[in-house]
Structure 1
Amino acid sequence: MSTAERWLKKLGYKAQKHHKDIYMDGHECKDVMEYQNKFLKVMESLEHLMIQYDMEGKPIYPKLQPGEKVHHAIAHDESGFHMNDQQSISWLAEG
């Protein structure tokens, strides 16, 4: 650990203590809303190629035309954004 810290200092990085700040969500910004609308239109156009699920969770496979392939929507929750939450120091370059 001490060797890595010495190298980080030689490379111009500085250890900086950080704290939780207020997070401002930009989901209502004009450009974000435009992107969301474009994304939703693309997803809607691909929906007929995706596996749907009935109320019991059983898959309903799409009826594909020749040359079409099944599309799978892959999503994630925001848990990835909470990695390293317990860290109180970051090594940052100038600027």
Structure 2
Amino acid sequence: MQIEIRLSSFYSLGDERRFFKALEDIAAIKHVQGVGRGLLIDIDLRYLSEDALLDMIALFWRYGVVLAPLQALATRKRFAWLSDEQAYWHKSMFETSLAE
């Protein structure tokens, strides 16, 4: 699965390094490619555990990345928990006005 995200600004070179190191530490992320102010991220769903997905959501949340590209995962039975309306990420993931 490939997603495209838009990046917000980093506050320092170290901040940017920590973001990319955290992406690298998620085993399901196989490739990251910069495209303008965004990233194309290749995710191997075979390795995307609940914990890994929660790490990705938390990382994106911390860096102000809109979560709408992850919305497609909620249609998969093993990730149905993403649709929990009480979850902190729900608005960013499912309200399309935030993604525009």
What is the TM-score when the length of structure 2 is the normalising length?
0.25
Higher helix share: 2
Higher RCO (Cα < 8 Å, 6 or more apart): 1
Bigger radius of gyration = 1
